[in-house]
Structure 1
Amino acid sequence: MTTCEETDCENEAAVELHVPWSDNMLVCTAHARVWAQKDGVVPEPLDEAADDWR
């Protein structure tokens, strides 16, 4: 499993973020919830973590 791409976070990545002004990112659910509130960011749960993203 991949780790979250946010700095200093060692949680497992569970969501791919499609960020229009940057590259896509793989992040944990906690960081995904924060990022998903920004305009234009689209979160897509990874297949193995879909149950955790509610």
Structure 2
Amino acid sequence: MPHLNMDIVLQKYIADSGYCSRRQAEELIRVKEVKVNGKIAELGQRVTDRDIVL
């Protein structure tokens, strides 16, 4: 995962991690396949390197 000094949009965070493209990340978030800190993620949600993204 990339190291961040500030928050970033979740789909960019996922794409920057190398898991998939930004558009693919958006689709994963839309179909509720992504959690942040144990909660279902929302499109456009912002995260930091302290958040747990699954």
State the TM-score, normalizing by the size of structure 1: 0.28
Higher share in helix: 2
The structure in which a higher percent of residues are strand is 1
TM-score (norm 2): 0.28
Structure having greater relative contact order (Cα 8 Å, sep ≥ 6): 2
